[in-house]
Amino acid sequence: SAVISQKPSRDICQRGTSLTIQCQVDSQVTMMFWYRQQPGQSLTLIATANQGSEATYESGFVIDKFPISRPNLTFSTLTVSNMSPEDSSIYLCSVDGTGREQYFGPGTRLTVT
């Protein structure tokens, strides 16, 4: 299994600002995923990030709002841009395992005021 860390673990931000969330994996992985979990809700996939290519966004999520970088096989960032209170959520990154399971980071709890 992979060990994943995320920074920051939580943050409180002003509306209109941006926050970049980092995801670090202890081994090289092909695919990394970014999810959003709104308060009391389930997880929704934002995008899939492969090293060396543009991220693939799910319906309802756009690159201008959630730009993603994937500079190498162990690291990715997600930026939440021009934040509003509706962006208050837990943001989680995950990586694929050998058997199609996913391993998740501890999450970043974002509050936008």
Partner 1 sequence: SQQGEEDPQALSIQEGENATMNCSYKTSINNLQWYRQNSGRGLVHLILIRSNEREKHSGRLRVTLDTSKKSSSLLITASRAADTASYFCATDNSGAQKLVFGQGTRLTINP
Interface residues with partner 1 (CB under 8 A) are 4, 31, 33, 37, 41-45, 48, 58-59, 90, 92, 94, 96-97, 99-107, 109
Q: Which is nearer to partner 1, 26 or 82 (CB)?
A: 26
Cα gap 37→90, rounded to integer Å: 5
* Min CB(104)–partner 1 separation in Å: 4
Q: Which is nearer to partner 1, 77 or 94 (CB)?
A: 94
Q: Which is nearer to partner 1, 3 or 82 (CB)?
A: 3
Can you spell out the DSSP letters for the chain?
A: ---EEEE-SEEEE-TT--EEEEEEESS--SEEEEEEE-TT--EEEEEEEETTSPPEEPTT--TTTS-EEEEETTEEEEEE-S--GGG-EEEEEEEE-TTS-EEE---EEEEE-
* Min CB(56)–partner 1 separation in Å: 8
* Min CB(16)–partner 1 separation in Å: 25
* Min CB(45)–partner 1 separation in Å: 6
Q: Which is nearer to partner 1, 44 or 82 (CB)?
A: 44
